[in-house]
Amino acid sequence: MIAQRLPREEKEALYIRKMTELQTRWQNPIDGDWQFVKDMTDEQLDTSLNDTLGQLRFEKVTGGFGKTVKFAIAVFVTLGVLGLLLFGIRQIF
């Protein structure tokens, strides 16, 4: 992965940026205290960065899939209601 070739300072900045994006997506409050990143070892930082990037990719894919499913259900329900209305109007006349 490209993140493996970055210097430590850039990895820390990337981790903070991606974790902030993930927390915003989850609608969690962000306190902005990222001091713990400086205390991580290189291995911990690499693992955390890979986990965060993977989770963010997963969240983006499932978010898009969820919107597609909701849209399909809304169309199905709308067509069903319209069909019932047309059937009811036909029965009346």
Q: Is this model's pTM higher than 0.75 or not?
A: no
Query: Phi then psi for 47, rounded to 5 degrees?
Result: -65, -45
pLDDT tens digits, one per residue of 33-47? 888 888 888 899 999
CA distances from 13 to 19, 25, 72 (A): 10, 18, 39
Residues of the chain below pLDDT 70: 1-3
CA angle 26/31/36 to nearest 5° reads 100
Q: Which residues, in sequence order, are CB contacts of 26 under 8 Å at separation 6+?
A: 59
Question: Where do the structural domains in the chain lie, given as residue ranges?
Answer: 2-67
Whole-number pLDDT of residue 56? 92
pLDDT tens digits, one per residue of 71-80? 999 999 999 9
Whole-number pLDDT of residue 86? 93
